[in-house]
Amino acid sequence: MADVDSNLVRAIAEQVMAALRAAGAGGGAGGAGIASPAEIHAPIGQCTGDYSKFPELKNLQSAPAPAVVAAGSSGGLPVPPTVAVTSPAPVTALKGVITVSQLKSVRGVVRLAKGAMLTPLAHDYIKDHAINVMSDEMATVVKVNAGGAAVDKALPTYWWIEGSCPSVAKVVEALRPQLLASRERPSGENLKGAVKELAQLVKGRKVRGGVLFVPSAARGVCYANRCPSLRAIVGTTERAVSEGLEMLGANVLVVEYSQFGFKGMMPLVKPFVEGVGSLPAAVAKELNELAMCY
C-alpha cells in the first residue's frame, strides 16, 4: 500500500472547509441558511434527553427524567395476575398385597412401593388391560379402599391351631409381628371357642381377621360362617385366597396344614395377612337375604 501524502490530505481538507463556509455565508439569499455549525458532542454516558446544550434544538421540549420505580412497584405498568405456586402432588404408590379393586381406583401408571405384591387376579387384570406398572420405592404410600368398611392394616391377625405342626410354627414365627395368638387351647374341642373369640375381636375391631390352622377345614369354615362378622374361605391355592379377598372380603382363612409344608403355606397365609379385603355392597345384600333362610 502506497504512503499517504499528508500535504495532499491537508490541502483537500482546507478546500472542503472553505466550501462549507462559503455555502453558509451565502445561504441567506435562498432561505434561513445555517446560523452556525452545530457543536459536536461525543457520545459519552447515557442520553438524558436534555436538549438545552444544543442551540439548534432549543425549541424542543426536554424529555422528562426517568422515574424511579420503588422495589415491588409496578411502575405504572399493568400488574400481571398473581399466580399461586403450588408444590407438585406427591408421587403415590400402592403397598402390600395389591388387588384388582385397588388397581381399578388408580388412574394412569400404577406405581408399586417396595415390597408390594400383586395377587394372581391383579396380574391377570394388568395383562388384560395393558396397564403400565412401575416400581417406585421412593413414592409416598397411598391407602386405597375397595369399598365397604375400611380395614385398619395396623391391626393384627388372629391365629389358632388345632393340634401342633412344625411348619405352622415356622409360618407364625415368620409373620409374628402381624399375628395375635388365640387364648384357646390347641384342641379340636376348642374350635368353637376359638371361632367365638375371633368373632368378638373382629366385631370389636381388635383384629382385622384370623387364620385357623386345622387338620380338616370342614368344621372350621362352617362354624366361622355362622357368625355374622366373619366370612371364611378355605386356603387351597393362591388364586383361591386372592378371589376370596376380592369377591367376598374374606376375613377368615382356614388352612389344612396337613396338606402343606412351610413353603406351601406361606404363599397362602402371607398375602391374606397383608392383604386388604372389604365386603362388596352387592355381596353384603345377598348375605343379609340368605341370613333369613331356614
Judged by phi (left if over 0) then psi (alpha if -120 to 50, else beta), residue 221 lies in alpha
**Is residue 87 classed exposed, middle or buried when 0-12, 13-18 and 19+ CB atoms within 10 A define those classes?**
exposed
Cα distance between the two ends of the chain: 125
Q: Which domain holds residue 123?
A: 92-141
Give me the number of domains the chain comprises: 2
C-beta separation of 247 from 235 below 8 A = no
**Is residue 87, in this structure, part of any structural domain at all?**
no
Between vectors from CA 112 to CA 111 and to CA 117, what angle results, nearest 5°? Answer: 145
Percentage of the chain lying above the pLDDT 90 cut: 36
Q: Is residue 33 part of a domain?
A: no
SS3 157: strand
Q: Read off the pLDDT band of 127 (50, 70, 90).
A: confident
Residue 203 domain flag: yes
Residue 115 lies in a domain: yes
Q: Are residues 277 and 170 in the same domain?
A: yes
Q: Out of 73, 107, 141, pick the residue that ends a domain.
A: 141
- 50-81 core/surface letters (b: 16 or more CB in 10 A; e: else): eeeeeeeeeeeeeeeeeeeeeeeeeeeeeeee
Distance of CA 232 to the CA centre of its chain: 35
Distance CA 217, CA 228 (A): 19
Q: Looking at residue 264, what is its pLDDT?
A: 94
Under the banding of pLDDT at 50, 70 and 90, the label for residue 47 is low
User: Among 278, 286, 292, which Cα is nearest to 244's?
Assistant: 278
- The answer on 282 and 171 residing in a single domain is yes
- Whether 211 and 260 map to the same domain: the answer is yes
- Mean pLDDT lowest for which of 65-69, 102-106, 206-210, 232-236? 65-69
Amino acid at position 174, single letter = A
Residue with cell 387364648: 183
Tell me, yes or no, whether 259 and 174 share the same domain.
yes
pLDDT for the residue 197: 96
pLDDT, greater one: 138 or 115 = 115
Asked, for residue 44, whether it belongs to a domain, the answer is no
For 237, phi then psi, to 5°, come to -140, 165
Same domain, 199 and 265: yes
pLDDT tens digits, one per residue of 255-284 = 999 999 999 999 999 999 988 777 888 888
221 pLDDT tier (thresholds 50, 70, 90): very high
For the segment 8-36, what is each residue's pLDDT rounded down to a tens digit? 888 888 888 888 888 766 555 444 455 55
* Same domain? 117 vs 188: no
d(CA 215, CA 259): 8
CATH (domain of 202) = 3.40.1400.10
Which pLDDT value is given to residue 149? 47
Residue of 196 and 133 predicted with greater confidence: 196
Gyration radius from the chain CA atoms: 45
Q: Is the dihedral of CA 151, 156, 159, 165 positive or negative?
A: positive
The 8-class DSSP code of residue 119 comes to -
Count CB-CB contacts under 10 A for residue 135. Answer: 12
